[in-house]
Amino acid sequence: MSQFLQYVVSGLSIGALYALVALGLVLIYRSTRILNFGHGDVATVGTFFAFTLLSHNYAWTIAFPLALILGAVLAMVFYFVVLIPAQRRNATQLGQIILTVGLSLIFQGLVSHFWGTEPQSFPFPLSDTRTWKVYQDVVISELSLGALVIGLIVSLFLFLLVQKTRLGLAMRATSENLPAAQTLGIPTRRVLSLSWGLAAFLGVLAGIFLAPALLLDPFFMLEPFLKGFAAAVLGGLNSLPGAIVGGLILGVAESLAGGYVTVAFKNTLAFVVIIVVLLIRPEGLLGKEFIERV
């Protein structure tokens, strides 16, 4: 029983970070119907920027907020400079998705050029070796506990932001019916840019907490991005609560699979989840089918 609980606790900590990545993907998809394949690479740039500041002896209280802001600004600049002009030229939805793939490749090249491809360790204020006792023989590292707490708090804050504030109401109106929102006077471009910035903010935050457990290289966010995408599909690509639930379920399922089956299967479970969910319930566990007037 203790071993099972240990796997569950470990899974929840990584699942909370998957949820942050999934939330960023869902925020963009529900507002623009675009799958942002550059999401993980924006997080990579932000994390490397934090790494650079820490390497120059800046305090983490300065480095982390600046990295989060940088990620948000990069995403908003991409939206205004690339996506809006493409939309004005009647770019298809697939074309806009390809633009995010281009963003991903550009950032991968820039990171490789400026920071190199050699894996590096990421300094972090929370230790991965110092542990806390949760229940009997169940322990959790300081880093994992921090990731779990931050992931849940930020997820709750985002949910309240979307559901309980005027900005959240504008975001929901824009995602539900863009022409109607424009008719009501909602600054939809500004709202959508904030959605992109907030999504990148969440991605960089996940990257900062993942970097200490993984070696930092230009592609370190590739696997977490794919896991976050699987979590978003599992919960529903148009559901913020679904992204949180999907991330936690995927994290626990991976941990249990790695403990009771094999570590090799742990890394393929996300793709099995995508296939099964799309076959059984394409809209996800908490998602709703999009209905559009033609």
**291 lies in a domain?**
no
**182 lies in a domain?**
yes
**64 lies in a domain?**
yes
pLDDT of residue 135: 74
**159 lies in a domain?**
yes
Confidence of residue 39 (pLDDT cuts 50, 70, 90): very high
**294 lies in a domain?**
no
Query: Between the CA of residue 160 and those of 147, 155, 228, what are the distances in Å?
Result: 20, 9, 21
| Pairwise CA distance, residues 95 & 234, whole Å | 25
pLDDT tens for each residue of 228-276: 998 998 888 888 889 999 999 999 988 888 877 777 777 787 778 778 8
- pLDDT over 80 at 123, yes or no: yes
Please give the share of the chain, as a percent, with pLDDT higher than 90: 47
CATH of the domain at 88: 1.10.3470
- pLDDT over 60 at 294, yes or no: no
Structural domain tally of the chain? 1
pLDDT tens for each residue of 176-218: 888 888 888 888 899 999 999 999 999 999 999 999 988 899 9
**290 lies in a domain?**
no
Pick from 8, 10, 17, 1: nearest CA to 247: 17
Classify strands 131-135 and 138-141 as parallel, antiparallel or unpaired: antiparallel
- pLDDT over 70 at 17, yes or no: yes
Pick from 134, 103, 97: nearest CA to 2: 134
**289 lies in a domain?**
no
Confidence of residue 290 (pLDDT cuts 50, 70, 90): low
pLDDT tens for each residue of 58-98: 999 999 999 999 999 999 999 999 999 999 998 898 999 99
Confidence of residue 33 (pLDDT cuts 50, 70, 90): confident
Provide the residue range defining the domain that includes 125. Answer: 2-280
pLDDT tens for each residue of 137-179: 788 888 888 999 998 899 889 988 988 898 888 988 888 888 8
pLDDT of residue 31: 85
